[in-house]
Amino acid sequence: MTPPEAPKDGIAAQGETPPAVSVCLEVLKKRSDFLAAARARRLGTGAMMVQARKRRDDEDVAANVIRIGFTCSKKVGNAVARNRAKRRMREVARLILPAQGQPGWDYVLIGRKDATSTREFAALQGDLRYALRKLHSAGG
């Protein structure tokens, strides 16, 4: 599948490359990063819990990077249900965070039982927008 900005014939002219399909966010993988976010700000919405923390200047991460982590406990359901919830949260983050997230921050999205995987997608997006607005207005 070619991105919509790609040439119609699928062949780019010399020196032209089609833009990336999506903006990449750096993904949290270390347990220590998740624990640091858990000690910071948090806000629960109908479909997820959002944790956010401003990184310190001495951390070994570029200041203009937005990092994001996803997690679902076994309370959400079996592996299929947890993976579905995380896929939905990843897509919402991909759509919302580049515009409304702040560089230099780490975010962790935590799925909720019977809500994350069944909530209407537009409402899921609204939940993340609302959480980011509240977390960032809480005093920088």
Dump strand ranges (E) for 12-140. 26-27, 41-44, 48-54, 67-71, 105-111
What string of H, E and C letters represents the secondary structure of the chain?
A: CCCCCCCCCCCCCCCCCCCCCCCCCEECCCHHHHHHHHCCEEEECCCEEEEEEECCCCCCCCCCCCEEEEECCHHHCCHHHHHHHHHHHHHHHHHHHHHHCCCCEEEEEEECCCCCCCCCHHHHHHHHHHHHHHHHHCCC
The verdict on pTM exceeding 0.75 is yes
Give the domain ranges of the chain: 26-137
Between the ranges 11-15, 63-67, 120-124, where is the mean pLDDT highest? Answer: 120-124
The CATH architecture that domain 26-137 belongs to is 2-Layer Sandwich (3.30)
Measured distance CA(121)–CA(111) in Å, rounded: 14
The residue type found at 128 is: L
Q: Which band of pLDDT confidence, cut at 50, 70 and 90, is reported for residue 72?
A: very high
pLDDT at 52: 95
pLDDT at 6: 53
